[in-house]
Every structure is written in C-alpha cells, then in structure tokens.
C-alpha cells in the first residue's frame, strides 16, 4: 500500500490515533460524538474506485472501528459516510450516534455547533482500547 500524508485540514480538526492495515485512524476533536475518520492509503479520491480487494480491506478497517464504537463505547447506531466535497483526499467517517447527542436525529455536519474537547486520559484510553480490540498501531498522542 502507498503511504499517504494526512491532509492538514483533517489534522487541524482531529487527533491522529494510529493506523490499521489500510488506513490512518483519526478522531474528531469534538467529544460530543465519537467521530472517527479513516484515511485509506491511496491516491484515489472515491472509495468505489478502489480495486475490489483493496475496497474490501478498507471496509474491514471501517467495520472494525464500527465494532469498537458499538461494543466498547456502547453506541447502538453508527453512521458511515465518504463525502470528500471539502477535503478531496479519500477519507471515511464512522460516527457513533444516540438519541441524546446534541444534533440527533440530524446529521453531524452543520448541526454539531457546540464543541467539547477530549481530555488526554480519554484519548489514551480510547487509543489503548483500539490497540487491544482491533489491532490499532498507535502513534504518540
């Protein structure tokens, strides 16, 4: 796989937690919802343009993050999207949702006005949990 640089615009909004076999794993800085962003190692812009084998591996990474959100963080609903209208580099959103989150039932885009930062210990626990459950290779926070 190609090693792709994470776009600066995503790094400005996210914590870089580490990487999975095909993707870098980011966490949006707003702790109101667990909003993960996976940046696959490719120069292509759209997930549907990946070869079938590569797409299946990327989807496996996405499914692992979704499983973490459900099994460890306790969310029953996970939203999944690949937009790329503002940031053209391929990146996939995996977001835990529940009826008490600040923008339910609307999408998080444009409706998550308040911001709450993650505490360092929260980030460390989340990163360690992903290492244990889904094999995340961590980076230094």
pLDDT digits (tens, 9 = 90+) for 42-67: 999 999 999 999 999 999 999 999 99
Residue 1 within a domain? no
* Domain-embedded: residue 17: yes
How many domains does the chain fold into? Answer: 1
- So what's the pLDDT on residue 99? 95
Q: Among candidates 51, 72, 81, which has minimal Cα distance to 64?
A: 72
pTM of the model: 0.94
Is residue 3 included in any domain, yes or no? no
Tokens at 64, concatenated: 């692992």
The reply to whether 68 falls in a domain is: yes
Predicted pLDDT of residue 3: 60
Low-confidence spans in the chain with pLDDT less than 50: 1
* 16 found inside a domain: yes
Place of tokens 């503002």: 86
Is 21 within a domain? yes
pLDDT of residue 61: 98
- 67 found inside a domain: yes
> What is the DSSP-derived secondary structure letter of residue 62?
H
Q: Which DSSP letter does residue 108 get?
A: S
Q: Report the pLDDT value the prediction gives residue 80, as an integer from 0 to 100.
A: 97
CATH number of the domain to which 123 belongs: 3.30.428.10
Domain boundaries, position 85: 8-136
pLDDT reported for residue 69: 98
Contacts of 106 by beta carbon, 8 Å cutoff, 6+ apart: none
In a domain, 40, yes or no: yes
């Amino acid at each position: 796989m190609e090693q792709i640089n994470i776009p600066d615009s995503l790094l400005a909004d996210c914590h870089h937690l580490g990487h999975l076999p095909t993707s870098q794993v980011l966490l949006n800085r707003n702790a109101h919802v667990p909003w993960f962003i996976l940046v696959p190692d490719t120069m292509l812009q759209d997930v549907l343009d990946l070869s079938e084998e590569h797409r299946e591996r990327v989807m496996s990474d996405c499914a692992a993050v979704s499983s973490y959100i459900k099994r460890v963080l306790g969310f029953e609903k996970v939203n999944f999207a690949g937009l790329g209208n503002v940031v053209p580099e391929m990146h996939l959103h995996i977001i835990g949702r529940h009826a008490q989150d600040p923008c339910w039932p609307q999408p998080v885009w444009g409706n998550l006005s308040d911001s709450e930062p993650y505490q360092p210990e929260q980030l460390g626990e989340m990163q360690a949990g992903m290492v244990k459950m889904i094999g995340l290779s961590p980076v230094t926070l």
